[in-house]
Amino acid sequence: MGTDKVGKQELEASIVAKARAFWDVPARAVYLGECQHAYKAGLLSENDITTLGKVIYGEAAGRSSEDEITVFDSTGMALQDLAACDVALRAAETAGRALTLD
């Protein structure tokens, strides 16, 4: 979770290109989200990005195996950011992997 702006890059473009990409708005993801560098390099297209809504409504598959790399980057919907963080935190707590920082 972080800021979205043109030029932002938190992941190598090659990692994004290998991953199953999930976003809220694919058109924004290729412009200012984490996909922008892989998209500009021709490593992925807007059609390679699955909207999270399609997964929620059963119109597209989510993660298909534990070995599959998945990337989700919300590009402007704070409630989705908070919900995704909550799911990740609960999973980390359940697995005994959550850390508390001062």
17-68 pLDDT, tens digit per residue, is: 999 988 888 888 888 878 899 999 999 999 999 988 898 889 999 888 989 9
The whole-angstrom separation of Cα 71 and Cα 92 is: 17
Among residues 28, 25, 11, 31, the alpha carbon closest in space to that of 71 is found at 11
Residue 79 pLDDT more than 80? no
Among residues 58, 55, 65, the alpha carbon closest in space to that of 19 is found at 65
Residue 58, token pair as written in the block? 């059963």
**What confidence category does residue 76 fall into, taking pLDDT thresholds of 50, 70 and 90?**
low
pLDDT at 91: 95
The CATH number of 13-94 is which of 3.40.50.720, 3.30.500.10, 3.30.460.20, 3.40.50.300? 3.40.50.720
Sign of CA dihedral 26, 31, 32, 36: positive
